[in-house]
Structure 1
Amino acid sequence: MTIITKRLLQAYFLAILLTVFGKVAGAKVITPDAMMMGGADHSDKPNIILILADDAGYHDFGFHGSRTMLTPNLDRLAEHGILFEQAYVTAAVCGPSRAGILTGRYQQKFGYEENNVPGYMSASGLTGDDMGLPLEETILPQYMKSLGYSTALVGKWHQGHADRFHPTKRGFDYFYGFRGGARSYYAFGENNQNHRQEDYIEEGFRVFNEPSKYLTSAFVDKAINFIDSSDASPFFLFLSLTAVHSPMEAEKSDLAKFPQLVGKRKTLAAMTFSMDKAIGRLLKHLDSRGIRENTLIVFTNDNGGPSDQNASNNAPLSGTKANHLEGGIRVPFIVSWPSVLSKNTKYRYPISTLDLLPTFIAAGHGEPDKLITLDGINLLPILHSNQEPAIRTFFWKKENRAAIRDGDWKLLRYPDRPAELYNLKHDLSETQNVARKKTLLVESLYKKLFTWELGLQRPKWQLKREYEGKAMERMDNFRYHTLD
């Protein structure tokens, strides 16, 4: 055993012991009341819309070079805004990624490491009601309400289906959507009893009513209604779409747009086109209301596309949803704020969806620097100058797997084989593993990763044993993609 290996093992077991025995206590979270409120005058505060796609492939947009997908409205949004070339989520699966967005903190710091879906169980052995974004965490809509914003969540929640985790109890004034992680794009039949309560469409609290149209369109209808009801104050709208997550369901008129395609790829193209049309309708409504110029819009995705479930394409990135290769964690990301930010520009430095919360707070005249537990940064200063920020370090962890990006270097840790090291500046597709040539750098990155892990909580729920093999297999089921 080499000296490097011994040191790595010693650090690793120390991290495990400290985590297991709870030696690391989480820092106290500052509440919205501790922030400067920015005054009572809301006239110059922007409206803010966060549009989150679900399971979309990195390459499956015109603005990323796809010649298959039709996304004219999102392409125009990119042309009239800033397109980020290196945007990351904090997890390669839905629930934890969203928890990171909503808190501005690495979700592993409060035990939200796994998806809260069937197949998992809580640390106490219970399921279902125990799984959700911890109530002691202050989240994005609560901060925005403290700054005078009316708030809405339209679409997918996936942060706990028990009543105590409900969006209207976590800072959202209005909710239209469903509490679970995925459902049909069409209304459930009246006599169909095979669905969980969290999968039914809900408006407000416990008012269930299935949509009368394709779900993506229904969500945008409700988003527009909320915008129209928010004349007295600036609004924060979280449009959390289910497109293009499975089940693979598309309208016939949209399928007809892609006669050259077959199977899941055809359905995915139709679902993507539907999403783009709906977003285009929302943008047009903002124009008609005369509020587009002072509306900060972000479009992004919750994790990499799953090439198995919906035939998504993450090229030129390797990897897929559920693994820590770039295709699992790097996402499309557009920011548009016509009256303030540059247009038709690209930002080429790494950022994280952790940055959304402090950026939105700053845009709303709050002071995110006072929130000392945040892991993200306010992007507005660097977007105004388009300058490179200080070198940042990003972390990912799920079960025993983990990754760290420090500058241009990225290390991936596996439980069943040696670590891999890539220089992303020169090897975007992660094809040239240089770990054996850079042993000192591997050791350094391992130490940084272990140090970060010392500040994490144990996962509040974990995968049941009978699901482990299938999940681990999926983590490695696909690596490389080709351009269409």
Structure 2
Amino acid sequence: MKNFITCLIGILTLSNIIIAQEKPNIIVILSDDAGYADFGFQGSEIMKTPHLDKLASEGMKFKQAYVTAAVCGPSRAGLLTGRYQQRFGFEENNVSGYMSESCLADDEMGLPLDQKTIGDYMKSLGYSTGYFGKWHQGSTDRFHPLNRGFDKFVGFRGGARSYWEYNNENPIYNLENRLEYGMGNFKEPKQYLTKVLTHEAISFVQENKDNNFFLMLAFNAVHAPMEAEKADLDAFPNLEGKRKYLAAMTLSMDRECGLLFKKLEELGLDENTLIIFTNDNGGPTDSNASVNLPLSGTKANHLEGGIRVPFIIKWPNVIPKNSEYDFPISTLDILPTSFMVSGGVSDSLKNIDGVNLIPYLTGKNNNRPHEYLYWKKENRGVIREGDWKLIRFPDRPAELFDLSTDISEKNNLAFKNPEKVADLYKKLFKWELTLVRPLWQLQRKYEGNAMERMDKYWNK
């Protein structure tokens, strides 16, 4: 009997190990302010991104992937919670010095504490969770990643910082952008920051090679300031100015992604790791020379160039290699997809706006993941229904586009389709009635700046 019990315990232990191994590790890589067209897998013949191109060839590329906002902070809040960030008041960027006088104090702005993050969800499934890079979800300790579901953090709390060490020659003006190891342990990088963040992410993978892990690597590349290593700049002798720096910064980020992918292979984890690569919003062409063509618009506006982003998923033996997906998806979907493939139950996701993408990507569900998608920032609002897109502006009549034939948004169909405009206007307003008021707002002048940028980069 004793031998039987021992044998049974051994079988159960082995079964548990097998079950644990079947749950994938998950890595989400997020670039910052990259242009829609500025990757090889997106068609660029200028940018050098061999490792991300290889990732795309080994997985699925998405033609119509969207973020939930055209600027950094709200977009990340939507990704982290799987909910439209306007549902909990995170409608605008939380940037000190830019806010309306009537809004919250700087240290009060952050991802509300009653919102569960993807870190919380993955920890509930027994995953080790790590976050490396740009946070931008609140600068005080209560908003810190280590208090929001993540076991390990190396990065900075703010929205932008130098890629080099802050010192007397390179002074820091916003303390929230100091590089931080854990909570309160500030230590400036001795190497180029993109390298430092990847090194820490690789260390996290090494530490958790025998456990299931969820890792977010949120680069600040290729966000300004435009700073790069000389060797990477020398790789683009025919480029000049910001475009040269952008190419060099992109090359560095791609190389570091390659090092992470190589470590997964060395540890034998690559076959059981789901990898997502995407970007936080459209490229700000005026500040970093990014290119969003053939899309119109840039970061901070709701043309396609502000909200449609590169997106790749690789999951060996589940997602078809070298494939493409045509229907619209959202970064809202990252949380429920990660949670469900890791053993989560759908009942735990009742307040989530995203969907589990896997049934759609594997052909088990041939419908659209989203019949409707929405965007809102103050007076501006957008609804996408099927291939129809309505944009409501603060300074002109609404415009209507058919994205199935006009991804550059050159042909306004509003006057030819007044009934469709009225219908979508009402549906957008009905969605807005489910939202809370913004917890903070930028000074009004920045809305004017956003409209000027939109008109400048509208490819009509």
Q: TM-score range by the shorter chain?
A: over 0.9
Q: Which residue of 2 aligns with 1:9?
A: none
Q: Which residue of 1 aligns with 2:378?
A: 399
Q: Which residue of 1 aligns with 2:5?
A: none
Is this contact kept in 2: 1:123–1:461, CA < 8 A? no
**2:69 pairs with 1:91:** yes
Q: Quick one: percent identity of the two aligned structures?
A: 60
Gaps of 5+ in 2: 1-15
Structure 1 counterpart of 2:80, one-letter code: L
Q: Which residue of 1 aligns with 2:13?
A: none
Q: Which residue of 2 aligns with 1:162?
A: 140
Q: Which residue of 1 aligns with 2:238?
A: 260
Give the drift of 1:179: 0.1
Question: Which has the higher mean CA deviation after the structures are superposed, 388-397 or 454-463?
Answer: 388-397
Give the drift of 1:42: 2.0
Is this contact kept in 1: 2:63–2:324, CA < 8 A? yes
**2:367 pairs with 1:379:** no
Give the drift of 1:382: 1.1
**Aligned counterpart in structure 1 of residue 209 of structure 2, from 231, 239, 243:** 231
Give the drift of 1:342: 1.0
Give the drift of 1:197: 1.8
Deviations 1:74-106 (A, max 9, x none): 000000000011000000000000000000000
- The SS at the match of 2:99 is strand
In 2, Cα distance between equivalents of 1:235 and 1:167 = 16
Give the drift of 1:371: 1.5
Please give the TM-score of this superposition, normalised by the length of structure 2: 0.93
Gaps of 5+ in 1: 1-37
Structure 2 counterpart of 1:261, one-letter code: L
Query: Is the helix fraction higher in 1 or 2?
Result: 2
Q: Which residue of 2 aligns with 1:221?
A: 199
Give the drift of 1:386: 7.0
Give the drift of 1:339: 3.0
**Aligned counterpart in structure 1 of residue 300 of structure 2, from 312, 317, 322:** 322
In 1, Cα distance between equivalents of 2:55 and 2:18 = 31
In 1, Cα distance between equivalents of 2:401 and 2:103 = 39
Alignment of 1:268-417 (within 5 A): 268-385=246-363, 388-390=366-368, 392-417=371-396
Q: Which residue of 2 aligns with 1:138?
A: 116
**Aligned counterpart in structure 1 of residue 180 of structure 2, from 202, 212, 232:** 202
In 2, Cα distance between equivalents of 1:393 and 1:227 = 37
Deviations 1:99-134 (A, max 9, x none): 000000000000000000024437854421110000
Please give the TM-score of this superposition, normalised by the length of structure 1: 0.89
**Aligned counterpart in structure 1 of residue 415 of structure 2, from 429, 432, 436:** 436
**Aligned counterpart in structure 1 of residue 151 of structure 2, from 173, 177, 193:** 173
Q: Which residue of 2 aligns with 1:30?
A: none
Q: Which residue of 2 aligns with 1:423?
A: 402
In 2, Cα distance between equivalents of 1:394 and 1:434 = 19
Is this contact kept in 1: 2:410–2:459, CA < 8 A? no
Give the drift of 1:341: 1.7
Give the drift of 1:212: 1.0
Structure 1 counterpart of 2:436, one-letter code: Q
Give the drift of 1:196: 1.9
Q: Which residue of 2 aligns with 1:4?
A: none
In 2, Cα distance between equivalents of 1:377 and 1:93 = 22
**2:49 pairs with 1:71:** yes
**Aligned counterpart in structure 1 of residue 39 of structure 2, from 49, 54, 61:** 61
In 1, Cα distance between equivalents of 2:203 and 2:36 = 30
In 2, Cα distance between equivalents of 1:39 and 1:372 = 30
Structure 2 counterpart of 1:306, one-letter code: P
